[in-house]
């Protein structure tokens, strides 16, 4: 097996694990799907190769799967978490990585672990659970941190309204260099304009297909 082989069963494994997440918490499931997709896009915009893009996509898909180990009373709590609940919640990146570790004899899955394990670290060292700083945070984790936070801010939760994309972009700028890697934020803000066009084009294509089906 070459170092950059992607097993043909990799997607089946992802589907299987994510079905478990969906049964536990559909919101986390859809969040993981979106973050996987956005991680690949950002990796592509950063010039990473096809294999690295796939690693990023899978790391994004798996980044929150450890939340299945968090009690519903905390994970689904319709209010802000108490300090002891938050402490437990902060264990989820390590729990996500532990779920994938049994597959780490396969290089493709081993390569996903840094992005998963460190996705809540912040470049100023104030993240969790390891308080890593700057370049000590693996690149994959710095990439996921940006798209993960964007997604989390944009979607409405029981305890707060989702933010508009303009506000989210401003947050990224405000926390660039403290929470987020500056260079990655710059590339994201530059690239995302075209993603929105892709999103719109996707929708348009689907709508056209619907019309064509109806008129057939």
Min. distance of Cβ 179 from Fe ion in angstroms? 14
Mark 162-198 as b/e (b = at least 16 C-beta within 10 Å): ebeeeebbebbeebbeebbbeebbebbeeebeeeeee
Residues 130-149 that bind Fe ion (CB under 5 A): none
Residues 169-198 that bind Fe ion (CB under 5 A): none
| Of 202, 155, 158, 150, residue with least CA distance to 175 | 150
Question: Could you tell me which stretch among 10-18, 50-58, 59-67, 164-172 binds Fe ion (CB under 5 A)?
Answer: 59-67
Q: How many residues bind Fe ion (CB under 5 A)?
A: 1
Answer for the pair 64, 28: CB distance below 8 angstroms, yes or no.
yes
Residue 119 in contact with residue 141, Cβ under 8 Å? Answer: yes
Q: Nearer Cβ to Fe ion, position 106 or 151? A: 151
Tell me the closest approach of the beta carbon of residue 112 to Fe ion, in angstroms.
14
Q: Distance (Å, rounded) from C-alpha 176 to C-alpha 58?
A: 25
Pick one of 25, 52, 57, 64: the residue that binds Fe ion (CB under 5 A).
Answer: 64
Q: How far is CA 10 from CA 7, 13, 40, 108, in A?
A: 5, 5, 16, 9
Distances 144 to 4, 105, 129, 208 between C-alpha atoms, Å: 21, 23, 15, 33
Q: Shortest Cβ distance from residue 215 to Fe ion (Å)? A: 45
Q: Which residue is nearest to Fe ion (CB)?
A: 64
Q: Name which of 98 and 107 has its Cβ closer to Fe ion.
A: 98
State the minimum distance, in angstroms, from the CB of residue 92 to Fe ion.
6
Measured from the CB atom, the residue of 54 and 127 that comes closer to Fe ion is: 127
**Stretch near Fe ion under the rule CB under 5 A, chosen from 47-55, 56-64, 77-85, 106-114:** 56-64
**206 a catalytic residue:** no
Partner residues linked to 176 by β-bridges: 180
Q: Between residues 25 and 64, which has the closer beta carbon with respect to Fe ion?
A: 64
Tokens of 71: 């009690």
Catalytic residue among 22, 24, 67, 90: 67
Catalytic residue ranges:
67
- Would you tell me which residues interact with Fe ion (CB under 5 A)? 64
């Amino acid at each position: 097996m070459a170092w950059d082989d992607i097993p043909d069963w990799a997607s089946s494994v992802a589907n299987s694990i994510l079905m478990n997440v969906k049964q536990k918490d559909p919101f986390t499931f859809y969040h993981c799907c979106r973050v996987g997709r956005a991680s690949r896009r950002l990796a592509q915009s950063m010039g990473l190769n096809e294999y690295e893009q796939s690693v990023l996509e899978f790391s994004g898909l798996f980044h929150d799967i450890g939340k299945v180990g968090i009690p519903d009373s905390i994970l689904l709590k319709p209010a802000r978490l108490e300090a002891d609940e938050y402490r437990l919640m902060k264990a989820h990146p390590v729990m996500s990585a532990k779920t994938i570790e049994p597959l780490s004899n396969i290089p493709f899955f081993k390569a996903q672990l840094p992005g998963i394990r460190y996705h809540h670290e912040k470049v100023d060292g104030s993240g969790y659970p390891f308080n890593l700083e700057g370049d000590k945070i693996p690149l994959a984790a710095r990439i996921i941190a940006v798209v993960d936070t964007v997604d989390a801010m944009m979607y409405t939760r029981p305890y707060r309204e989702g933010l508009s994309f303009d506000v989210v972009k401003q947050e990224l700028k405000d926390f660039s260099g403290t929470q987020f890697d500056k260079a990655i934020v710059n590339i994201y803000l530059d690239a995302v304009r075209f993603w929105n066009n892709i999103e719109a084009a996707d929708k348009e294509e689907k709508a056209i297909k619907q019309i064509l089906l109806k008129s057939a």
